[in-house]
Amino acid sequence: MKVFTVVGNRPQFIKAAPLSAALREAGFDEVVLHTGQHWYHVMSQVFFDQLGLAEPRYRLDLHTADVEQMQPEIAARIAGEEPDIVLVYGDTNSTLAGARAAADASIPVAHVEAGLRSGDLTMPEEHNRIEVDRLAWLLFCPDDRSRRMLQEEGVLGRIYVVGDVMADASRLFGPVARAAFPIPHAPASYVVVTIHRQANVEQPRLGRIVDGLNRIDEMVVFPVHPRTRARMREERFALGEHVRVIEPLSYLELASLASQARVIVTDSGGLQKEAYWYGVPCVTVRPSTEWVDTVAVGANVLVDDDPAALAEAVASVAMPASRPVLYGDGHASERIAQVLAATIPSR
């Protein structure tokens, strides 16, 4: 049985690592296509080097997030491979391009992280999630909330609650990261910041976020995304002396740094969940989140782009005394492989 996997950005490489291992263990022939949506070495190749991912059979190297450019290139490789199913992750433009290409070729689509909704239709990712879920034949949900959302929307595919593959990655790679990349600061003595979403690198949001970071009264470690760095340079924003700006980190380096921080400030969906699994409180610079359970239990605070609220939340946020299990037990990959094996007919 042949699975054609489409990946293109940092979170998808992380999610693919444990699932690719589970697919190999179950005897699948997996063909990996890397769209090139992320092409910087530290945001792309390093994942294959550090996480043991099989080298992609196809590297499009398109250096774009444009769906219309990616889709025909993906379609051509799907046609050449004739897979039993096309596997896509999350909510990026690579996800949408892969799902559309498969659907046009009448190849079933499996969507990992199906059913997630922030409720914010100003986000391109929200539109991607909705469309991909409507195209998918197999929908792998991280939790019951996602399952209910898909049922309410009336999707036609088969829905499975399997847990979150990111929990698998955190379980497998967190200890490896801390052993391989010791941090240069005392644990819980600093705040980690990651900012990369398109809306947050535009004005006036970026300026307001920088203002908020400058109001934090403790050391901040800020691995700056290339897009964010470029916009900060264009706008000539200055960060305070307490903010240590560093180059983007590999997944394992960031996992080590973030898992030992006092607080994480981010606009990343994945890092919000990882913060919870690490036991590190999170402040999210977005007006909404797909991971509403982390907010409901008090482990995550939404501050949008309000500078005063950002600084206040960093000073006061704390993990709840009791943390319920959220988004699975770290074995979603095995469950997905089992469903695929039971569902896809042998040729």
Query: Per residue, what are the HEC states of 56-104?
Result: CCEECCCCCCCHHHHHHHHHHHHHHHCCCEEEEECCCHHHHHHHHHHHH
Task: Specify the pLDDT at position 43.
Answer: 43
Cα 173 to Cα 289: distance, rounded to the nearest angstrom? 25
Asked if 284 and 304 count as a contact pair (C-beta separation under 8 A), the reply is no
pLDDT at 46: 54
| pLDDT of the residue at 293 | 92
**Whose CA is closest to 119, among 134, 129, 132?**
129
Q: Which two tokens stand for residue 192?
A: 């980690």
In this prediction, residue 31 carries a pLDDT of 96
Residue 41 has a pLDDT of 47
What residues have CB less than 8 Å from 6, skipping those under 6 apart? 33, 35, 74, 86, 87, 88, 89, 94, 95, 97, 98
* Amino acid 246: pLDDT: 97
Return the pLDDT at 63.
78
Which pLDDT belongs to residue 300?
98
Average pLDDT over the chain reads: 92
Residues above pLDDT 90, as percent of the chain: 77
Please give the pLDDT value at position 38: 58
| Active-site residue set | 196
In this prediction the pTM is: 0.81
Give every residue of the chain whose pLDDT is below 70, as ranges: 38-54, 346-347
Domain architecture of the chain: domains with CATH = 2-164+328-343 (3.40.50.2000), 170-316 (3.40.50.2000)
Residue 45: its pLDDT value, please?
A: 57
In this structure, the strands spanning 109-112 and 85-89 are parallel
Task: Judge whether 215 and 208 are in contact, CB under 8 Å.
Answer: no
β partners of residue 283: 265, 301
